[in-house]
Amino acid sequence: MGKNEPVNAYINRDKRHLISQAGMYLDETTLRMECLHGCFNALTIWTIFLLCLIGCTSNETPQIETKDNTIKPGDSGPVVYRLKWLYNTSVAGEIWAQESGIFKAHGLTVKLREGGPEQDAIKDLELGRAHFGVASADQVIRAAAKGAHVVVLAQIFQVNPLQWIYAKDGRAIVKPQDLKGLCVGVTYGGNDESILSALLRMYKIGPDDLELYAVHYDFNPFWKGEVELWPIYRNTQGIILQKKMAQTGKQAGFFNPGTFGIRFVANSLITSKKVYTEQPQLVRVFTEAVLEGWRDAMDPELELKVAEAIHRFDPETPIPIIQQQLAETRALVVPESPRAIGTIDTKAWKQTADILITQGLISQEVDITSLLVGPLR
């Protein structure tokens, strides 16, 4: 049937064919029943096929370790790793570990899965749909407060990348008090709301001292100057917006709450207590591979190769922009010693928990120490 051919024309055409073949008259009702019967049979066949396909591909939580507590290439199924967000420079270490063969060198076959607003790494761990995941401290603490059984193996970002961008244009925001009288964008229900609220409380800035604007995905209020500070991730969106502002003759400034004592932990490597206790060898090897991937990805000498690898996952971002993003990410991930990448900042985790309690986002205290297990040695 042609794309725009009426259904009745199709029925009439098929009816003539049947008459010529059978030498008998088929009324319209009979023919419609024949067509429906054929469609039903086709649908049944496709349904059976899809069920078989799902049954063959749904096993994504295989036993990774062998009986002798070792991992050997080809002995087991893939390790499923749920990321926190979409593919971009914030997952540089994981992408590099995959593309450079680090995972493979550790005897691992890893299936990277993008995160996003509709994905939840902790939920996937709890349901056995992933072995490892990436989550921020507030996600982990909130989940633990509700009874989730997860542990933290490493802290990837030492400095939270969430900051506020603004156009300098003669304005300098060098201290929290400089926010007074300005319109500040905030994502209600997001990390930036918690961070900004904690900052305002710490510096005794009242809600009437500034104007808050509920941000969405539309940047126009910022471009028009209606909102003076806009929440962004410094190492990804920040680079792109900074370049666009420069093209219009504006100089970008960044307001970082971390500079003023708000330590709200971002991306960390997590797993379930079940995997942690039942597959310690897998946990040790996987954690080592992820951290090795991040150490290499943050090496300035490998910057171009890492950018090219990220570009294969994020083709919409040009490689030169990714290189700039990597340079900014380096300042957020690498502590004083590159070998210490992944170090867990216990004090920052406790401060994050205190912020959540103060703001009523969790109803009970969480034993932070029991969550921060760190890498197995």
**CA-to-CA distance for 166 and 228, rounded, in angstroms?**
6
Residue 149 forms part of a structural domain: yes
Give the DSSP letter string of 119-165.
--HHHHHHTTS-SEEEE-HHHHHHHHHTT--EEEEEE--SS--EEEE
Determine phi and psi for 262, rounding to 5 degrees.
Answer: -95, 105
Residue 213 forms part of a structural domain: yes
**CA-to-CA distance for 150 and 136, rounded, in angstroms?**
12
Domain holding 29, by residue range, is: 7-57
In this structure, the answer to whether residues 284 and 367 fall within a common structural domain is yes
- What pLDDT sits at residue 171? 84
**Whole-prediction pTM value?**
0.79
C-alpha closest to that of 197 among 16, 367, 361: 361
In this structure, the answer to whether residues 171 and 302 fall within a common structural domain is no
- What pLDDT sits at residue 185? 98
Residue 69 forms part of a structural domain: no
47 band by pLDDT with thresholds 50, 70 and 90? very low
| Residue after which a domain boundary falls, among 233, 260, 287 | 260
| Residue after which a domain boundary falls, among 260, 284, 311 | 260
> How many independent structural domains does the chain possess?
3
Residue 117 forms part of a structural domain: yes
In this structure, the answer to whether residues 119 and 195 fall within a common structural domain is no
In this structure, the answer to whether residues 242 and 310 fall within a common structural domain is no
In this structure, the answer to whether residues 178 and 310 fall within a common structural domain is no
In this structure, the answer to whether residues 284 and 151 fall within a common structural domain is yes
C-alpha closest to that of 345 among 265, 257, 260: 265
Take residue 155 and report the two structure tokens written for it.
Answer: 């802290």
**CA-to-CA distance for 301 and 135, rounded, in angstroms?**
29
Overall average pLDDT of the 47-65 stretch:
42
For residue 66, the one-letter residue type is T
Residue 308 forms part of a structural domain: yes
For residue 223, the one-letter residue type is W
Overall average pLDDT of the 235-263 stretch:
96
Residue 338 forms part of a structural domain: yes
| 202 or 37, higher pLDDT | 202
- What pLDDT sits at residue 164? 98
Q: Contact at 8 Å (CB) between 8 and 32?
A: no
Residue 243 forms part of a structural domain: yes
**CA-to-CA distance for 61 and 337, rounded, in angstroms?**
35
- What pLDDT sits at residue 361? 94
Task: Give SS3 for 61.
Answer: coil
Task: Give SS3 for 69.
Answer: coil
- What pLDDT sits at residue 26? 30
- What pLDDT sits at residue 12? 34
In this structure, the answer to whether residues 99 and 112 fall within a common structural domain is yes
- Whether pLDDT at 49 is above 70: no
Mean per-residue pLDDT of the chain: 84
- What pLDDT sits at residue 210? 97
| Residue after which a domain boundary falls, among 205, 240, 260 | 260
Give the DSSP letter string of 199-240.
HHHHTT--GGGSEEEE--S--HHHHTTSSSBEEEETTTHHHH
- What pLDDT sits at residue 76? 64
- What pLDDT sits at residue 377? 66
Q: How many Å separate Cα 313 from the centre of its chain?
A: 13
pLDDT tens, residue by residue, 60-88: 444 444 444 333 444 468 999 999 999 99
Sheet holding 110-113, edge to edge: 110-113, 79-82, 132-135, 268-272, 150-155
Distances (CA, A) of 54 to 17, 50, 59, 121, 345: 39, 6, 9, 22, 42
Residue 360 belongs to a domain with what CATH number? 3.40.190.10
In this structure, the answer to whether residues 146 and 275 fall within a common structural domain is yes
Residue 124 forms part of a structural domain: yes
pLDDT tens, residue by residue, 284-300: 999 999 999 999 999 99
Q: Work out the percent of the chain whose per-residue pLDDT is above 70.
A: 80
pLDDT tens, residue by residue, 183-218: 999 999 899 999 999 999 999 999 899 999 999 889
In this structure, the answer to whether residues 171 and 316 fall within a common structural domain is no
Task: Give SS3 for 270.
Answer: strand
- What pLDDT sits at residue 21? 33
In this structure, the answer to whether residues 323 and 195 fall within a common structural domain is no
In this structure, the answer to whether residues 212 and 356 fall within a common structural domain is no
**CA-to-CA distance for 89 and 256, rounded, in angstroms?**
19
Take residue 125 and report the two structure tokens written for it.
Answer: 């761990």
- Beta-carbon-side half-sphere exposure of residue 68 (alpha carbons within 13 Å): 4
- Whether pLDDT at 1 is above 80: no
In this structure, the answer to whether residues 282 and 146 fall within a common structural domain is yes
- Whether pLDDT at 137 is above 90: yes
